[in-house]
Chain A
């Protein structure tokens, strides 16, 4: 096989949680750092409160914008159940950064199903799991919508991507009036223990 020497990141969550902005900021930083980068996202029907995912791959040379089962180096889940939904794409032993946040899918909301309680325990059996209070941190900073950038900070630390100028990447991807909040969110995410 042609060994892929770069990294593959899978970002997942629920439509509306801001996975696309995180991917945009991440890829901006990676491109500035000189990597070849590909990113794949899904639009349309799935965005309406459904399950969403973005894949980011970077390295010396990237061919495929998407990965198959067992090929992601890291999984960033904005929501716990979504971590499980995409877990088959993550390498056994790979890193899972999971936001400690639950959004009830309609079958749960309507009482037709239970939200599974064993997600962390099951994920820990297969992966290096870090459960992060990203949404709580975002809320304490003033806006739950910056959960995405808190998680970006955590990802940067996990991947040791500190040499990249993330302030510049944030400046390029968020509106000026939201910049200070997002820089604070990034720093808080970077400092998170979990």
Chain B
């Protein structure tokens, strides 16, 4: 029968709930798939805790760490690459320790569904010498959060709480609990603990090793590690989502050592489990993180010999790797045309990239966000995209390389979005002006953090909770840095966009472009939308409108046609048509 006290929650919803129930009071994060919904869901607990979007993961982690020093249980969360940004603090926080409990959630993305790399952040726990906790479903996401805070406070350490896309974005049933309010101790200055001078760090260094030893002792009896002794010949050590896959792939009589606390590993427990089975498998996604340590302890096991060390697993991959079971799969003879993501119809970024795509002498260093899709054919208007903020700084490096090579016929445009500008573009913008970069920094300001699903940022004028906040004006920031010619343009007006590019290139003083138009999907804004139609008499089938790369436009019988169900009436295609064959009809307001 249905159990009405249980709810179907994503891992991310359950983590938010777990933080709430654990009495957390200060939370700070920067959005990043697959972690974003943790903080979106914290907003519902705003009467009990403070949660915010910070400009980037380093700031967020610092805010959360500061809060724990002031004896508030605190939380930060980020996608796996976000931890690279936050790492500067994390390694030292491990030395200094915590006041109240401090948990860092890392959401890794095996198979890179929405990421630029597949780094396995379990390595960070080992590298930074902090304990690692890994839930395998939503119930554990909630329950393990509470134990994470208990571990953090008992051992005085930050805790790394690692989930993956399939843990974060899968839904499973969760029984909810009550919030346990914490009584914060009164803050007292503690210089040797929290001031990281070399002398104090040298004192903390051996303490860190002692703490790890104590954590290993804890690991051997931790409630997060569970033994399922079935007496069979086969034993499986596994953790995180791999546990769920292995449970379906191995026979009923397989014994499991399911680990939720995975660094330091409970080596005594592992040793006795290994001794109780004939064949020991280690089933883990990505790196041989557990396998390497288990082997180093002199325990033989089958791991990456059977299981791939890249891309995500599933029950079928585990079954095939371990038992050689090939599934029956239908073979179809169909030309499977790819369907890559594309800029939405009406996306303000389209006009910017359309104008820049016309010039083969332009070098465009891009960045992480919806506007990364400017790379896609037929726009193909991007040279690089590597990391947050790289849109400015990589362009700077190319500019200096061209200078040293005597190359003068390339014009460099560094492109970041509004949220990315506040995340890591600020320092790059300073670099360009300080070191006389021969390039044009461009901010594509669509007034939202788009790709992760519309989060507010310091430029939007709203907080995580939707409250009105100070709105940091990007033009004021750039001018204060020394960009004397900040050109603000509506990228949907192709003539104006072209003029902005020409003016920036001709500028005698440092110039920057802000291409500003809100994302059409922002609900709180009234948008001007309509429909475009093609006059098939006037259309000559020249295909120039197809070069704007709009999903609403396609060819039919050699001429262009527009899908009215998805067209937003932005008119970029109409402006690109040299024969006036496309016009806009109808007017309506979308939004409030």
Q: Which residues of A contact B (CB under 8 A)?
A: 1-2, 4, 14-16, 27-28, 31-34, 36-51, 62-71, 81-82, 84-85, 87-88, 90-92, 104-111, 113-116, 118-119, 122-123, 125-127, 144
* Supplied contacts A43-B453, A106-B551, 8 more A-B pairs, CB within 8 Å: A2-B248, A48-B341, A48-B451, A63-B315, A64-B245, A66-B314, A67-B314, A88-B329
B361-380 Cβ-contact flags toward A at 8 Å (1 or 0): 00000000010110011100
Chain B contact residues, majority secondary structure: loop
The answer to whether A67 and B316 have CB atoms under 8 Å apart is yes
Contacting residue for A106 out of B314, B319, B340, CB 8 A: B340
The answer to whether A114 and B1 have CB atoms under 8 Å apart is no
- Residues in chain A near residue B437, CB distance under 8 A: none
- Residues in chain B near residue A115, CB distance under 8 A: 337
The answer to whether B337 and A14 have CB atoms under 8 Å apart is no
Output the nearest chain A residue to B552 by Cβ-Cβ distance: A109
- Bound Cα distance from A107 to B336, whole angstroms: 11
The answer to whether B250 and A1 have CB atoms under 8 Å apart is yes
B342-384 Cβ-contact flags toward A at 8 Å (1 or 0): 1110000000000000000000000000101100111000000
The answer to whether B329 and A27 have CB atoms under 8 Å apart is no
**Also in contact, A44 and B452, with CB within 8 A (given A71-B316, A92-B329):** yes
The answer to whether B333 and A88 have CB atoms under 8 Å apart is no
15 of the cross-chain contacts (CB-CB < 8 Å) are A2-B250, A38-B171, A38-B172, A42-B165, A44-B452, A45-B372, A48-B344, A49-B551, A62-B172, A81-B337, A108-B337, A109-B546, A116-B336, A118-B334, A127-B330
Contacting residue for A63 out of B247, B252, B333, CB 8 A: B247
**Also in contact, A49 and B344, with CB within 8 A (given A31-B2, A38-B172):** yes
- Residues in chain B near residue A16, CB distance under 8 A: 566
The answer to whether B1 and A34 have CB atoms under 8 Å apart is yes
- Residues in chain A near residue B316, CB distance under 8 A: 67-71
The answer to whether A66 and B336 have CB atoms under 8 Å apart is no
- A-B CB contacts (within 8 Å), total count: 212
**Also in contact, A49 and B334, with CB within 8 A (given A92-B329, A110-B546, A111-B555):** no
- Bound Cα distance from A39 to B169, whole angstroms: 8
B304-335 Cβ-contact flags toward A at 8 Å (1 or 0): 00000000001111010001010111111111
The answer to whether A38 and B170 have CB atoms under 8 Å apart is yes
The answer to whether B337 and A116 have CB atoms under 8 Å apart is yes
Question: In whole Å, how far is A91's beta carbon from the nearest beta carbon of chain B?
Answer: 7
The answer to whether B244 and A65 have CB atoms under 8 Å apart is yes
The answer to whether B114 and A110 have CB atoms under 8 Å apart is no
Output the nearest chain B residue to A135 by Cβ-Cβ distance: B565
Instruction: Kindly state whether residue B527 has any CB partner on chain A within 8 Å.
Output: no
B398-427 Cβ-contact flags toward A at 8 Å (1 or 0): 000000000000000000000000000000
- Residues in chain B near residue A14, CB distance under 8 A: 339
The answer to whether A68 and B315 have CB atoms under 8 Å apart is yes
The answer to whether B327 and A70 have CB atoms under 8 Å apart is yes
The answer to whether A84 and B329 have CB atoms under 8 Å apart is no
Contacting residue for B315 out of A37, A40, A67, A91, CB 8 A: A67
Output the nearest chain A residue to B337 by Cβ-Cβ distance: A113
The answer to whether A1 and B319 have CB atoms under 8 Å apart is yes
**Also in contact, A43 and B335, with CB within 8 A (given A106-B340, A109-B551):** no
